[in-house]
Amino acid sequence: MEKRELLYEGKAKKLFATDDPGLVIQYFKDDATAFDGTKKATIASKGVINNACSEIFFRLLEGHGVRTHFVERLDEREMLCRRLDIVPVEMIVRNVMAGSLARRLGRPEGDRLAAPIVEYCYKSDALHDPLINRWHVTVLGFATGAEIDTMTAMALRVNEILTPFLAARKLLLVDMKLEFGRFQGDILLGDEICPDTCRFWDADTGRKLDKDRFRHDLGDVAEAYHEVHRRLTSPA
Ligand code: UDP
User: Block means of pLDDT (10 residues each) for the chain, length 236 residues?
Assistant: 96 98 98 94 98 98 98 98 98 98 98 98 96 98 98 99 98 99 98 98 98 98 98 93
Tell the residue nearest (CA) to atom 7 of ligand 1.
197
Ligand 1 atom with the shortest distance to the CA of 199: 15
Whole-number pLDDT of residue 36? 87
Whole-number pLDDT of residue 147? 98
Instruction: Give, for ligand 1, the residue of 93, 107, 177 to mutate: max count of ligand atoms closer than 8 Å to Cβ.
Output: 177
3-state secondary structure of 157: helix
Pocket of ligand 1 (CB under 6 A): 92, 98-101, 129, 175-177, 197-199, 211
- Alpha-carbon span 30 to 8, nearest angstrom: 16
Whole-number pLDDT of residue 78? 98
Q: Which bin fits 11, alpha (ψ -120 to 50), beta or left (φ > 0)?
A: alpha
- Alpha-carbon span 86 to 41, nearest angstrom: 27
Residue 174 CA to ligand 1 center (angstroms) comes to: 11
Whole-number pLDDT of residue 64? 98
Residue 182 CA to ligand 1 center (angstroms) comes to: 23
- Alpha-carbon span 33 to 74, nearest angstrom: 25
Residue 121 CA to ligand 1 center (angstroms) comes to: 10
Residue 39 CA to ligand 1 center (angstroms) comes to: 15
- pTM for the whole structure: 0.98
Tell the residue nearest (CA) to atom 19 of ligand 1.
100
DSSP-H helix ranges across the chain: 46-63, 99-105, 134-139, 145-167, 212-215, 221-233
Tell the residue nearest (CA) to atom 5 of ligand 1.
177
